[in-house]
Structure 1
Amino acid sequence: MSRMHLPLSVVTALMGGAALAEVPRVAVDIAPVHSLVARVMEGVGSPYLIVQSGASPHEYSLRPSEATALQEADVVFWVSPELTPWLGDAIETLATNASVSELLEADGTIELEFREGALFEAHEHGENEHGENGHEEHADDDEHAEHDAHEGHDHGGHDPHAWLSPQNAATWLNVIAGQLSAADPENAGAYFANAAAGQEEIDALIGEVTAVLEPVRGGQFIVFHDAYQYFENAFDFPASGAISISDASDPSPARISEIQHRISGEGITCVMSEPQFNRGIVAAVLDGMEADTAVLDPLGSDLEPGPTLYPQLIRNLASTLAECL
């Protein structure tokens, strides 16, 4: 017999009373984090996604429905103001009754410094777990000075693309379960059980992605903008450089020249674009170069939002790199 045809009392008993619990209204900034929250809430409720698929989180205008979701939220999860500088004011103004979690600040989160300059060196920066003192310092070199001279991008704080570390995702599942349980104690068991199951899935995902990347380990590639170092560090698979230091600004001619010299000088075979940004810039970089191009998507724009988006996003990054290299 289908559950939908069971008497309400039986359904309630089967769900341990969860059907009667008032599920918190939850708003989440970007699709990968929304996926982690949806995994923790699976079988209990569904979170609301603020930044819609295909949009850049760095610059975004709230639609009325998204503003309403923040206004009605009991719990809000977001990465950090470095990723969505516009969202901090919106949360402060609209989500006045919500419990707000900034995940980049969560205990146990691996944080990485922004890299400077167009070209990267492997293992340029070390990891730092939130709450510990000391970060590895940036190299004081000509690239740093040139970056300051022509990029005009403020790199205060840490690189916010921290969801691309599966280790961070596993940590955040527990943080999410804790925050939801504080707002909804009746469903705490379900939240923590889902988080534990999600962590097991991420452990398996790390093994799967490592196997996909192993045959092309050592291959060199250029990314569109410097968004992937958490993924690079997690799988010891470093990029050689980024066309743009930020997806909010076009690269200077000097930066494009640096990238082209590295492509030709080191025989780099793959240059990545992103679905949200101008592919003409990648075409300019590849002009006269013997390198392939492919699309890396750090947000999973072409994936259906929900609990399976996060693991599929990480798989897609690995498979795209493996195919291009």
Structure 2
Amino acid sequence: MKTSLAALFATTSVFAASSAMAAPEVVVSVKPIHSLVAAVMEGVAVPKLIVEGAASPHTFTMKPSNARSLEKADVIFWVGENLETFLEKPLDALGKKATVVALSEAPGVEKLKLREGGTFESHDHSDEDHDDHAGHDHAKHDHAKHDHEKQAGHDDHDHEGFDMHLWLDPSNAKAMVKEIQARLIKADPEHVAIYNRNAAELEKKIDALDQEIRSALAPVRAKPLVVFHDAYQYFEHHYDINVVGSITVSPETVPGAERLSEIHKKLASLNAVCVFAEPQFQPKLIDVVTAGTKAKSGTLDPEGATLKEGPELYFNLMRNMSKSLVDCLDKDA
């Protein structure tokens, strides 16, 4: 009897080990999409994250451990080369056996072009004054029909100037979930039932979150605000909030004294209620541009820098942004 039980235990252990080994090695670039991938993979495996902690994809430097993860990966999810520029060469050199999925190219994802002019700084980063019209260009991108599945070579990705903070629109998040689901099923058909169930539940949670945030922002959405860099137009576009300008378009470019002086002057003319910093980028600049004005200051964290990674991060990120906006814009809060 003891021998039979031992044999049964050994067989079960081997089966469990082989089942665990069947799960693909998945690597994800940044926290918000890692959260979506982790939610779809829950109960199967935990994907590896490259840009950890409070790091930003705008200023990230690869580590040896990141390189090893890319070499071992079966599937790599990233937003695309216009966000994680640090990944372009490593993907070509290290991710040769992996399926590389740029979620910016997922079917159903709406991409908005980067803005310039008005109170948004031009993309040549000059300090010259621009037309003061604060209208928002929400130009939509027509997606070309092409094969989205790439191995490490992906040089036909577009190089146009699109805002890559796609996850801030819940509709985009749902489109990315569908792509994540499809790619995981293709890489790991043994767990198709789990991926399908998780993706369906995740889409329902995103719908509920969307309604919750829309209701919370309704009383303050018309109040004008200025952000640190122009990373919010998906959130702005989806919820119709009134972002009238940014201190800098690109966080890699530190605004000069002339630019800060320009923003300081415009805060009064724009009647901006709040100016928002970000955790990773020089919050003291906000103090400079708001000094002597009636504008209050707050913090927005569009990349989840201050949040713990995992399936709940996306929901915490979106709720925190909504709460920060309401807290600052509601003068009675």
| Shorter-chain TM-score tier | 0.7 to 0.9
- 2:112 corresponds to which letter in structure 1? L
Residue 128, structure 1, aligned to residue 132, structure 2: no
Aligned-pair identity (%): 41
Distance in 1 separating the partners of 2:255 and 2:309: 31
TM-score by length of 1: 0.85
Q: Is the 8 Å Cα contact of residues 57 and 84 (structure 1) preserved in structure 2? A: yes
Give the alignment partner of residue 293 of structure 2, picking from 271, 285, 289: 289
Residue 68, structure 1, aligned to residue 72, structure 2: no
**Structure 2 vs 1, CA of residues 20 and 289 (structure 1 numbering), >3 Å: closer, same or farther?**
closer
In structure 2, runs of 5+ residues without a counterpart are 1-8, 121-133, 146-158
Residue 179, structure 1, aligned to residue 190, structure 2: no
Q: Is the 8 Å Cα contact of residues 138 and 237 (structure 2) preserved in structure 1? A: no
Residue 213, structure 1, aligned to residue 226, structure 2: no
29-38 vs 232-241, which moves further: 232-241
- 2:296 corresponds to which letter in structure 1? D
Structure 2 match to 1:320: 324
- 1:93 corresponds to which letter in structure 2? A
Cα displacement (A) at 1:315: 0.7
In structure 1, runs of 5+ residues without a counterpart are 1-6, 133-154
Q: Is the 8 Å Cα contact of residues 224 and 272 (structure 2) preserved in structure 1? A: yes
Distance in 1 separating the partners of 2:34 and 2:282: 26
Structure 1 match to 2:25: 25
Q: Is the 8 Å Cα contact of residues 169 and 238 (structure 2) preserved in structure 1? A: yes
Structure 2 match to 1:149: none
Distance in 2 separating the partners of 1:322 and 1:18: 50
- 1:216 corresponds to which letter in structure 2? V
Distance in 2 separating the partners of 1:294 and 1:8: 58
User: How far does the alpha carbon of each residue in 1:152-190 deviate from its partner, in whole angstroms, 9 at most, with x for none?
Assistant: xxx943111111111111011110011111110101121
Q: Secondary structure of 2:76's partner? A: strand
Give the alignment partner of residue 268 of structure 1, picking from 272, 275, 281: 272
Q: Secondary structure of 2:85's partner? A: coil
**Structure 2 vs 1, CA of residues 268 and 18 (structure 1 numbering), >3 Å: closer, same or farther?**
farther
Cα displacement (A) at 1:280: 2.1
Give the alignment partner of residue 251 of structure 1, picking from 237, 248, 255: 255
Q: Secondary structure of 2:219's partner? A: helix
Residue 101, structure 1, aligned to residue 105, structure 2: no
**Structure 2 vs 1, CA of residues 265 and 12 (structure 1 numbering), >3 Å: closer, same or farther?**
farther
Structure 2 match to 1:88: 88
Structure 2 match to 1:161: 165
Cα displacement (A) at 1:237: 1.0
Of structures 1 and 2, the larger Rg is shown by 2
User: How far does the alpha carbon of each residue in 1:252-291 deviate from its partner, in whole angstroms, 9 at most, with x for none?
Assistant: 3343233223311232110000000112211211122121
Cα displacement (A) at 1:9: 8.2
37-46 vs 156-165, which moves further: 156-165
Q: Is the 8 Å Cα contact of residues 56 and 305 (structure 2) preserved in structure 1? A: no
